[in-house]
Every structure is written in structure tokens, then in C-alpha cells.
Structure 1
Amino acid sequence: MTDRSPAVLDSDGLSGHRRVVSPASGLILRPYTPADQAAVLALMECDRLPGQPRTTPAMLGEALKGRCPVDGGWWEELARPTVQVAMDATGTVTGVVSHALRPNDNTGQLLWLHCQEDPRTADALISHTLTMLAPRPVHAFHFASALTLGLEALPVRHRGRTAAALERAGFQGQRQWRYLRADLPAPRLPCLGRVKVKPDPAGQGECRLEGREGRRVVAEAVIGMPAHGIGVLWWIGVLPDARGRGLGRSMLGSALSVLTGLGAAQVILYVDDDEPPGGERDRTAAKSLYRSAGFTEVDQLYVYSLRGGQAP
């Protein structure tokens, strides 16, 4: 279990902010300041996954404000996030964590955390977050943030030490998504003969593709407009009575063709992975389709919950 020693508060004479000294780790935790931007961006770069863009100052700025183009409605339910950094004895920033309260159900939310996968720093940041949010239940990595292109939940293969730190603190993980990527173009895939592209009327940077037979829409896909040369396939579907004729594969080919035409050099997608095969949300067929189309799995994504809301 994570060390539960009480933290020591003192005053940071340079910044004017209160800081926390964690006796177990020897780290100092204090509020984020603009002077930390370069160090925090470097930490995020260490955790960047294939298919994800480099985090920019603008993306970090949106995350600090608690805004995100994906899962935006969930972010609107949160109080303004608190962001803390961890420093070692030399003053080097070794980690950063963001958390917030959700007033409508009085839960704590650990939104994002980066620490170069250093267990000592991960333990200190998580322990401090639980102290700040206690005695509420706490959820971790439940939302996509502005730091990524829709990456919701924690990639446990790339972030195994962070996952282990959460478990040491009492969190329980649940598998949610498989994260896949592919290079573009994908010329070997067939395309539908008639596809209508409709921009998102809400202006969220998405397009809906409709595959038609006569006046009837038989297949649909939703794509994210490419950013930094990366497109997102959010969703693809075929009417039940039109399945078994290869329309899903052709709809996929059409979606990837549109993304290529919009300037994407690679594409990512997230496949539901929270039910065993045979369940209502079984994605076995979808995963087989994506694999045959050249997608490779980058990681499995887990969300975490601490039901008891224990304080460290």
C-alpha cells in the first residue's frame, strides 16, 4: 500500500504558494505555475503514445482551464481543476497531477497524471490527491482531456507503473477500450459507391459519412477532422439488415479515404472493450475488421475507481 504518513505544510517563499513536503518520498508538492510549463510538457512528451500528437502549450492551457473538445459535457460538470507539481530536492519538476470535484454527485476526479513512470513520484501525487479529495469516492482517468486526441482512460502497457501506484493506493481498474492506429493511405480497402459527407453542425470538428443505397442510409461513420496529421475514426456502423455484404469494410475504406484527402497521414480509433465475447457490446467482429485493414493495437485503456474514498 502507498505510504500514509502525514504531509508537512510550509511556505514557499519564492512563489508565495503553500507547498506540501511528503516525508516518505522527500518530494515537495505545490501548485502549478506558468513557469512550470516547459517541464510539464516534457513530462507529457515522455508518456506520448503512437498516434498521439505532441502536447502543445495551447492544449495544456485548455486542460488547465478544465476544457476539452471531447467529453466536453462531462468537463462542464466539474469544478475548476486543481493542478499540482512534484519537485525533488534540486527543484526539478518530476511530476504533475490534475484533479477536480464533481459537485452533482460529490465525487473526486483524478483527471491526468504524468511522472516519467517514477513510482515514488506517482505514489506521492496520488496520495496527495486523495488527501485533497477525501472522504469522497474518487475516480481516475475517466475522461479524455485536451492533452490528447480523445485518449480516455490510462494506457496500462505504456503506463504500468502509474497503474501499479493506483492499485497500491486502493484503486480498482476496469478495462474500457482498445486503442488502435494505422498509417494512411489505405489503398487496398474498397470504398462505397455513394457516400455523403456532412460536417458536424455543432462545430466540434467532426464529420458524419453516410453510405446510401437509393435513398436509404445503410452505413454510417463519424470521423474527427485531422489535427497534426492524425485523424480519428470515432464510430462506424451498418444497419442490421444490411450486414454480411461487406458494407462495414467498404464504409471503413470510405472513411479512411476521406481522412487521407483531408491531410491525415495516420488514423487512430478506440474500440469498446468492457464486455467479454458474446455480450451485447461484443466487438469481436469489429476488431477482426480493423486488424485485417492494417490497424495495430497500441495499448489497452483502463479506468480506475476508489469506492471508499479513503484518505491517505
Structure 2
Amino acid sequence: MAQPVPEPVPEHAPRPTVRPCTAEDHGAVLALVDADRLPGQPVCTAEMLHAALSRTAVLETGWWSEIEPPRTDVLLGAEGQVTGVVCWSVRPRDGAGIVLWLHGREHPGTVRHLVDHALASLGEHRPAHAFASASPLTLGLPALPVTHRPATDRALRDAGFGPAASWRYMRHTRSGSAPAEAYPLAEVISQGEAGWRLKVRSHDGPPAAEATVDAPVDGIGAVRWIGVEAAHRDNGLGSTLLQQALRTLYGNGAREVILYVDDQPVGGVDDRTAANRLYDAAGFTEIDRLLSYVRP
């Protein structure tokens, strides 16, 4: 009995469909963002997505205030479902392309197509950056978490991007080691809904140490900055200030606290050994390493 002849396989599979993101896609986009959510990050809300799509968020750092209105496209699967999303823009002052964020459930083919689509839309010969600024979709996450998102990291490298900057993303939980009881040396200054500033003054008046912490969002607080003047280091002041910062956050509703340790030189000093030792000793654990990227 003759065997059926299989149908010929097309030499080139049809390219996935990409189109602009619409309001009807927002639910699917939120699901894609949430699929990549890290420990210590809140669930992305419709308000956060709206800010990311329209560039309405007020961020302390980054390029969101100096870029053109971002463009966001979605990738559709065979059944017309949204399988990926990518957002990019252009920085007018130097013409650089900016891949702001993308999500595709870490499916290698999906994220590679999203990267290729963004670059093709920007122009292949334009210098480009990727994940080089915090987006409104997260609680200040400044770059790509490479351990949790290896497919995106690989797609960027395959497209010619290389690492530009790195951070250590760390988390402290209330169920872990509790902040040590310590004399509250710092003056706690409210900054309204934003959070608090903790300031320690030396005996002669000038600041000796300072910290800035963000008010909890969905039970997640953040240590944004902690610094000790050179003349007051090596005496435990930094540890005491950090403990007071943690107690301030936990006393105001935080269940966990996050921070980012950047690896960039500050004031000519690029050794983060002391800072990492401080956070490790306080009970913070590393969640991921974060990378931003550049393509000449």
C-alpha cells in the first residue's frame, strides 16, 4: 500500500505579525510584564503601564525626560494572541536609539524578533542603547536582570549589543534577620509621599552620614542612597544608619526592602567592597545582576 506523500514544507516560515500596541492589548501586555516580574518588585498596574507608554512618569534618573514619545509594538502569535511587546524611542540630542523595555516570556525566538524589529524600526546604522534606564513598569529597576532573563540577554548580544553598566540587585525581607536595635542617631525628615531622608550630623554641625528611602509600594520599600563622609567611616556609622533606615521602612508598612548597588565609579572610586559588605552583613541577599547595553 502506497504511503501518503507529505506536504512540502515551505522554505521560509511566515514572519510573525507586528503591529502597534492598542488599548485592547493592555491586559495581555500586563500579563507579559508580570511573567518576568522579579522578587521584590510589585505587580505592574494599568497606571504603571500607562506611564510607560506615554512617558508621563517622573523619574529621578534616566532618559525618559529627554526622549521622543516612545513607540510600543506587540508581536502576535499564529492565533492572533499577543506573545511579545517592545518599546523604543530616539534621543534627539544625539540621535541614539533607545530600546526601553521588552517582554516575551523569555521565549528565544520571540525576544530575538522583538530586538530585531526595534532595531529595524530605529535604523540598523543608528547607535543604540538597551535597558539603560529605569522604566515605570518596575520599582526603579535600572537595567536587565540577566539571570532571570537569559534569552533577552542573548538576543541583545547576538544583535551586537555589549554590556555598558552593571548593578547588584538586593533584597531584605522582614521574615529574615530583623534590623538590629540601635540608638536612633539620624534625624528622620519626611519627604511626603516619596519617603524619608535620614541625616546624621557631626558634633560641629556638618552632615556625617545620610540616607534616602522610598515609601513602601505594595509593601516594598527601597533604600535609594546611603553615604558616610570619609572622616566618619570605619566606625560603624554606616551600619547603624542602615539599620535605622530599615526600621523606618518596616515601621511604615514595608514587608521587604530592595536596593541597587551600582558598579560605576563615583568620585574616582570604583571599589564597592565596603558597600557590599555592609549590605551583606545587614541581611540583604542578591536577587540578580543587572546589565545595561550599548551598540555602537
User: Structure 2-normalised TM-score?
Assistant: 0.89
Answering whether residue 211 of structure 2 is matched by residue 221 of structure 1, we say yes
- Name the residue aligned to 2:262: 272
1:67-82 map, 5 Å: 67-71=56-60, 74-82=63-71
Deviations 1:156-183 (A, max 9, x none): 0001000000111111123410000011
Query: Is the alpha carbon distance of 1:69 and 1:190 closer, same or farther for their aligned partners in structure 2, counting shifts above 3 Å?
Result: farther
Conserved in 1, the CA contact under 8 Å of 2:42 and 2:139?
A: yes
Answering whether residue 55 of structure 2 is matched by residue 66 of structure 1, we say yes
1:167-186 map, 5 Å: 167-184=157-174
Report SS of the residue matched to 1:61. helix
Q: CA deviation at 1:72?
A: 5.5
Deviations 1:198-222 (A, max 9, x none): 234xx67142110234434211101
For 2:193 and 2:293, the matched residues in 1 are separated by 28
Higher mean Cα deviation, 247-256 or 117-126?
117-126
| Aligned with residue 165 of structure 1, among 155, 158, 180 | 155
For 2:165 and 2:207, the matched residues in 1 are separated by 33
For 1:72 and 1:80, the matched residues in 2 are separated by 17
Q: Name structure 2 gaps, 5 residues minimum.
A: 1-11
The total of aligned residue pairs comes to 280
Deviations 1:233-266 (A, max 9, x none): 0111111111111000000001001111111110
Root mean square deviation of aligned Cα? 1.8
- Name the residue aligned to 1:296: 285
Conserved in 2, the CA contact under 8 Å of 1:221 and 1:237?
A: yes
Report SS of the residue matched to 2:291. strand
1:1-312 map, 5 Å: 26-71=15-60, 74-134=63-123, 135-184=125-174, 187-200=178-191, 205-214=194-203, 215-274=205-264, 280-307=269-296
- Name the residue aligned to 2:7: none
Conserved in 1, the CA contact under 8 Å of 2:41 and 2:138?
A: yes
- What one-letter code is carried by the residue in structure 2 that aligns with 1:141? F
Q: CA deviation at 1:113?
A: 0.4
Report SS of the residue matched to 2:73. strand
Report SS of the residue matched to 2:48. helix
Structure 1 or 2, whichever has the larger Rg, is 2
Deviations 1:139-169 (A, max 9, x none): 0000101000000110000010000001111
Conserved in 2, the CA contact under 8 Å of 1:110 and 1:140?
A: yes
Conserved in 2, the CA contact under 8 Å of 1:154 and 1:302?
A: yes
For 1:266 and 1:225, the matched residues in 2 are separated by 11
Q: Name structure 1 gaps, 5 residues minimum.
A: 1-22, 308-312
Q: CA deviation at 1:188?
A: 4.4
For 2:184 and 2:31, the matched residues in 1 are separated by 46
- What one-letter code is carried by the residue in structure 2 that aligns with 1:212? R
Query: Is the alpha carbon distance of 1:190 and 1:212 closer, same or farther for their aligned partners in structure 2, counting shifts above 3 Å?
Result: farther
Query: Is the alpha carbon distance of 1:288 and 1:24 closer, same or farther for their aligned partners in structure 2, counting shifts above 3 Å?
Result: farther
Conserved in 2, the CA contact under 8 Å of 1:26 and 1:89?
A: no
Report SS of the residue matched to 1:75. coil
